[in-house]
Amino acid sequence: MTQPFSKNSRPNSAKAYARAQPLMPGGVNSPARAFGAVGGEPLFIDRADGAYLWDVDGHRYVDYIGSWGPMILGHRFPPVVAALEEAISRGTSFGAPTEAESELAELIIECVPSVERVRLVNSGTEATMSAVRLARGFTGRDQVIKFAGNYHGHVDSLLVAAGSSAATLGQPNSPGVTAGAAKDTIVLPYNDPEALAAAVAEHGDRLAAVIFEPVCGNMGVVAPTDEFLTALRSETRRCGALLIADEVMTGFRLSLGGAQERLGVEPDLTTLGKIVGGGLPVGAYGGRSDVMAHVLPEGPVFQAGTLSGNPLATAAGTATLRALRDQPPYARLETLAGRLEFGLRSAAEAAGVPFTLKRVGSMLTLFFSKDAVTDWESASRCDTERFGRYFWAMLDRGVYLPCSQYEALFVSASHTEEDIDATIAAAEESLKSVA
């Protein structure tokens, strides 16, 4: 094992942070990066390659954030770099249709079982915002059900009990979200089919959609029960609401067809992001043909974007999806992540730290709680202070974990067994140090 870095070994990150703070709120452009949940100052990154990140002080880290999901094939995956170089030689944005957009759309429709037609946007937030608007336009109803601890981007009406950075910051309802925007959102506990049935019985005729994470990553990894999945489909069908699977994180990660393929769920609409852009800003929403026909210009539901379907972004997305389809990494990801799971379990047991660990495919969370985590209520009982100390102990040993207890760690196809074993060795020391 390499020596832990000394406390003052990141002078360049400290300088970069001091520069950024007066310029941007918190010195960052997304709160998840600010290390608010673990204390201390964020690292500034210089470059990345494969499974590694280098900070501006020249330290190398094994990366388990993967840009919060997109980098399933590792950083600077050669086919993505080549596709970007080819696309850039022909121009970066036209504001007119390109064949590259159809190429990415064809791939999405081929891979994701329930998606018959699709619209490309620029982020996961845009995808969920647009899908909810479409569901309301299609059904002519106002209300939406979401689940506590599920995050669907920073859409006003969905920024209620929203998990991850929202949860970590203790601000489930952001100032600036009006009572009007939140009043048509009903928040229910995850994995509670009875609560869902009761809400549908009461609000069913006003319900436009139920939106959910089919495997949660934004309160740490939480898996749905079979009963919950069955209820989601049957209750929405019964009352005529649309079922929206938010696969921004799980799409192309838990299998080529996402969580819906892995779990056998049949949503009406699906939202995508992260991997679909291969590291560039892309989101997408799609699903039933008859529903998608309501989107402008075919239908009346407005949704537009100056840079939607951008040539660079579609090139990176297409190269990524093609690689995932033609050389599926999923069996290897399962093996690598299983090896990591086993090592972390043994390390936590040896250290005597109370924990529960959940892994689905290449997504994993080590919760500092002795009880099973099945919903936001059980997740919120974790020892986040201990997580903060563990995070820094790992970072000092060259392992870059998500900087919050309530996030999923991602294994990529570029990780090697040696990377995993080095991570386990770091965890053995780190968990002992926080016991």
Ligand X SMILES: *Cc1c(COP(=O)(O)O)cnc(C)c1O
Write the CA distances from 246 to 119, 284, 302, 307, integer angstroms.
15, 11, 20, 22
- Binding segment for ligand X (CB under 6 A), chosen from 34-42, 45-53, 120-128, 262-270, is 120-128
Question: Residue 25 Cβ, how far from ligand X at the closest point, in Å?
Answer: 17
Nearer to ligand X among residue 355 and residue 406 (C-beta):
406
- By the rule CB under 6 A, 113 interacts with ligand X: no
Contact between 153 and 124 under an 8 Å Cβ cutoff? The reply is yes
Question: Residue 150 Cβ, how far from ligand X at the closest point, in Å?
Answer: 7
**Residue 220's closest CA among 355, 392, 48, 393?**
355
- Per CB under 6 A, the list member of 128, 191, 310, 374 interacting with ligand X is 128
Contact between 188 and 199 under an 8 Å Cβ cutoff? The reply is yes
- Per CB under 6 A, the list member of 213, 383, 419, 428 interacting with ligand X is 213
Listing from the earlier edge strand, what are the strands of the sheet with 117-121?
Answer: 117-121, 283-287, 269-272, 242-246, 207-212, 143-147, 185-188
Nearer to ligand X among residue 133 and residue 152 (C-beta):
152
- By the rule CB under 6 A, 152 interacts with ligand X: yes
Nearer to ligand X among residue 122 and residue 430 (C-beta):
122
Question: Residue 406 Cβ, how far from ligand X at the closest point, in Å?
Answer: 12
Contact between 64 and 411 under an 8 Å Cβ cutoff? The reply is yes
Would you call 151 helix, strand, or coil by DSSP?
Answer: coil
The residue whose Cβ lies closest to ligand X is: 124
- By the rule CB under 6 A, 153 interacts with ligand X: yes
- Binding segment for ligand X (CB under 6 A), chosen from 42-50, 54-62, 244-252, 336-344, is 244-252
Nearer to ligand X among residue 283 and residue 398 (C-beta):
283
- By the rule CB under 6 A, 123 interacts with ligand X: yes
DSSP label of 235: H
- By the rule CB under 6 A, 406 interacts with ligand X: no
Percent helix, percent strand, percent coil in the chain, to nearest 5:
45, 15, 40
- By the rule CB under 6 A, 430 interacts with ligand X: no
Geometric angle at alpha carbon 343, from 338 and 348, rounded to 5°: 125
- Per CB under 6 A, the list member of 64, 151, 190, 368 interacting with ligand X is 151
Would you call 147 helix, strand, or coil by DSSP?
Answer: strand
- By the rule CB under 6 A, 218 interacts with ligand X: yes
- By the rule CB under 6 A, 246 interacts with ligand X: yes
- By the rule CB under 6 A, 168 interacts with ligand X: no
- By the rule CB under 6 A, 125 interacts with ligand X: yes
Provide the annotated active-site residues.
151, 246, 274
Annotate 166-219 with DSSP letters as a single string.
HHHTT-SS-TT--HHHHHTEEEE-TT-HHHHHHHHHHHGGGEEEEEE-SSB-BT
- By the rule CB under 6 A, 124 interacts with ligand X: yes
Q: Looking only at residues 283 through 322 of this chain, which bind ligand X when binding is defined by CB under 6 A?
A: 283
Contact between 419 and 427 under an 8 Å Cβ cutoff? The reply is no
- Binding segment for ligand X (CB under 6 A), chosen from 117-125, 233-241, 299-307, 332-340, is 117-125
Polymer length of the chain:
435
- Residue 273 tokens read as 């992001």
Contact between 205 and 151 under an 8 Å Cβ cutoff? The reply is no
Question: Residue 434 Cβ, how far from ligand X at the closest point, in Å?
Answer: 27
- Per CB under 6 A, the list member of 70, 214, 217, 267 interacting with ligand X is 217
Report the interface residues with ligand X, using CB under 6 A: 123-125, 128, 151-153, 213, 217-218, 246, 248-249, 273, 283
